[in-house]
Homo-oligomer: A and B are copies of this chain.
Amino acid sequence: MTPATTDLTPIRTAVDGKRLWQSLMALAVIGATPKGGNNRQALTELDREGRDLLTRWCEAEGLTVRFDAIGNLFARRAGRQPDADPVAIGSHIDTQPTGGKFDGCFGVLAALEVIRTLNAQDIETERPIELVSWTNEEGCRFAPCMMGSGVFTGQLSLEAARARADVDGITAGEALDAIGYAGRDADCPRRFAGYLEAHIEQGPILEDEGKTIGVVTGALGLKWFDVTLTGMDAHAGPTPMHLRRDALLGATRVVEAVNRIATAQAPDGRGTVGAFQVSPNSRNVIPGQVTLSVDFRHSDDKTLAAIVDEFRRTLDGIAAETGLGIEITPTADYPPQHFDRACIDAVRRGTEAHAYAHREIVSGAGHDAVFVADVAPTAMIFIPCENGISHNESEYATPTDVTAGANVLLHATLELAGQTAKVTAAETDA
- Smallest CB gap from A282: residue in B: B274
List which A229-286 residues lie within 8 A (CB) of chain B.
Answer: 232-243, 246, 248-249, 251-253, 255-256, 259, 262-263, 266-267, 269-278, 281-286
A149 within 8 A of B: no
Bound-state CA distance A239–B277 (Å) is 23
**Is A287 in the interface zone, CB < 8 Å from B?**
yes
Chain B neighbourhood of A203, CB < 8 A? 234-235, 237-240, 243
- A48 cross-chain contacts in B, Cβ below 8 A: none
Expressed in whole angstroms, the minimum distance between the Cβ of A258 and any Cβ of chain B is 9
In the complex, whether A183 has a CB less than 8 A from a CB of chain B is: no
Stretch at the interface among A30-38, A189-197, A359-367: A359-367
User: Which chain B positions have C-beta within 8 A of A246?
Assistant: 259, 272
Query: Looking at the complex, which of A111-119, A127-135, A341-349, A386-394 is the stretch in contact with chain B?
Result: A386-394
Q: Which of B240, B255, B278 contacts A252 (CB 8 A)?
A: B255
Nearest Cβ in chain B — how far from A397, in angstroms? 14
A: contact size bracket: 35 or more
The answer to whether B270 touches A275, judged by C-beta atoms less than 8 angstroms apart, is no
In the complex, whether A293 has a CB less than 8 A from a CB of chain B is: yes
Tell me if A205 counts as interface (CB < 8 A to partner B): yes
- Is A311 at the interface (CB under 8 A from chain B)? no
Find out whether the CB atom of A205 lies under 8 angstroms from the CB atom of B273: no
Q: In the assembled complex, which residues on chain B have CB atoms less than 8 Å from the CB atom of A259?
A: 241, 246, 249
> Which of B235, B252, B253, B389 is in CB contact (< 8 Å) with A202?
B235
**B256 near A274 (CB under 8 angstroms)?**
no
**A297 on interface, CB distance cutoff 8 Å:** yes
Q: How far is the CA of A324 from the CA of B271 in the complex (A)?
A: 19
A341-383, CB under 8 A of B: which get 1 and which 0? Answer: 0000000000000000000000111100000000000000000
Q: Are B239 and A388 in contact (CB under 8 A)?
A: yes
**Shortest distance between the CB of A139 and any CB in chain B (Å):** 11
CA distance A334 to B391 in the complex (A): 45
Min C-beta distance of A141 to chain B, whole Å? 15
Give bound CA distance, A248 to B277, whole Å. Answer: 12
Q: Given the known inter-chain contacts A241-B266, A243-B208, A259-B246, please indicate yes or no for A274 contacting B236, CB distance below 8 A.
A: yes
Which residues of chain B are within 8 angstroms of A220 by Cβ–Cβ distance?
237
Contact (Cβ within 8 A) A286 B274:
yes
Contact in complex: B269, A276 (CB < 8 Å): no
Q: Does A204 contact B (CB under 8 A)?
A: yes
Q: Which residue of B lies closest to A273 (CB)?
A: B248
Answer yes or no: A201 CB below 8 A from chain B CBs. Answer: yes
- Once A274-B287, A283-B224 are accepted as A-B contacts, the answer to whether A237 and B389 lie under 8 Å apart by CB is no
Q: Is the CB of B274 within 8 A of A205?
A: no
Q: Do B276 and A287 have beta carbons less than 8 Å apart?
A: yes
Bound complex: CA A284 to CA B277 (Å):
15
Interface residues of A, Cβ cutoff 8 Å to B? 201-205, 208, 220, 222, 224, 232-243, 246, 248-249, 251-253, 255-256, 259, 262-263, 266-267, 269-278, 281-287, 293, 295, 297, 363-366, 387-392
List 4 additional A-B contacts (Cβ < 8 Å) besides A203-B240, A235-B364, A252-B253.
A201-B238, A249-B256, A251-B252, A285-B391
* A-B complex: 6 closest residue pairs judged by Cβ atoms: A203-B238, A237-B364, A238-B364, A252-B252, A236-B272, A237-B365
